[in-house]
Structure 1
């Protein structure tokens, strides 16, 4: 039993040292690395350069075939009459689309390149943030007197650090990010 407690205390101390190293040295370096990545030419493209054709057919609206103002001359007085008349003139026909006639839609190559460039850094930051969360938990002192101001701040930081997996779900979700066509 003594050896397990000793191992647990050694793990706790190692986590405290690693957490301090992350906060003091590693995170500032990561910030500068991310700034360099985001300042590259890849991330400063105008919308017209990032645009890609999705090649998805869309139905033609039958109401657009009417000449302008033609529905005003129909003698219908209210919106319900016009809607009923439209349903009679243009009955809705069609079927569900289960496949696209032009094949699958390819991903946007520019956005894919941006994701692939930032994904390793963000994944590493998520892993390191979990260690910082554990470090904060180990540094919360026991409440022994009425002054809990510092503990409240640490608990607030812990709450923010605990939300990192929620906000990073899109980065880690391989089906959304790394979907290859």
Structure 2
């Protein structure tokens, strides 16, 4: 157990002295790069690759690219739109006019891709989030292992350890919430896409998808900024109080910086 404790202590101090400032500088470079610039917002609002109501009407009126799975009955004609989507037309009633658009039900078959820019940013930030959480777990144990046994006397250094540990835990809780953000975004976007498919004539559903993508971009930029600040603040806090964290009980008294 002594060897394991020594390993944790060495790892914790290495993270604080070396890896945290390196990660902070990397994130600062990322935040300052064109990838997270607000000029990218216009690129985030990409057009959704789904047929509009006008596309469906135009294809039906002109009979463009319509083919049937049965040349005799033509009960399930298929429409290939220009963006590669496939729409199947089902007659609501055999007595209906086959040229009547209102008497038809349409089934969308195709692939709706994720927003590529958002996906790229998420893939870029995820390793930093996971590294921070993994590192904080080691740092918490590192501080905990250096807390001396409870006894009477000078415990001021111990209070510095406990305050530092509490601050690290608070930051850890905040960073953990960043993981949920991506999941909630994907679920919300998927639900909106379903609405666009079901109601292609409602323009607000299309615009809401674009607005959600824009919101996610701003949130990812915020996450990058906060991660940079967290790496910096944890490094700064623990380095300024490193001696009291490592040797909490001395004859001298110091205040928490």
Aligned match of 1:49: 43
- Which structure carries more relative contact order (alpha carbon 8 Å, separation 6+)? 1
CA–CA separation in structure 2 for the residues paired with 1:11 and 1:126: 20
**Separation (CA, whole Å) in 2 of partners of 1:109 and 1:162:** 34
Name the TM-score, length of structure 1 as normaliser: 0.58
From 102, 107, 124, the counterpart of 1:117:
124
Cα displacement string for residues 40-89 of structure 1 (whole angstroms, at most 9, x for unaligned residues): 21001333333345699xxxxxxxxxxxxxxxxxxxxxxxxxxxxxxxxx
**How has the CA–CA distance of structure 1 residues 119 and 15 changed in structure 2, closer, same or farther, with 3 Å as cutoff?**
same
Q: Is the 8 A contact 1:115 1:177 kept in 2?
A: no
Q: Which residue of structure 2 aligns with residue 145 of structure 1?
A: 152
Q: Could you tell me which residue of structure 1 aligns to residue 2 of structure 2?
A: 9
1:18 to 2, 6, 11: 11
Contact 2:133 2:176 in 1 (8 A): no
Q: Which residue of 1 aligns with 2:200?
A: none
Deviation at 1:105, TM superposition (A): 7.2
Contact 2:8 2:142 in 1 (8 A): yes
What RMSD, in angstroms, separates the aligned Cα atoms of the two structures?
3.5
CA distance in 2, matches of 1:48, 1:102: 28
Aligned partners of 1:170, 1:177: CA distance in 2, in Å? 11
Give matches, 1:1-181, under 5 Å: 8-46=1-39, 47-53=41-47, 107-173=114-180, 176=183, 179=186
- Contact map agreement 1:129 1:164 (CA 8 A) in 2: no
Change (3 A) 1:102 1:39: farther
- Distance change in 2, residues 1:111/1:48 (3 Å): same
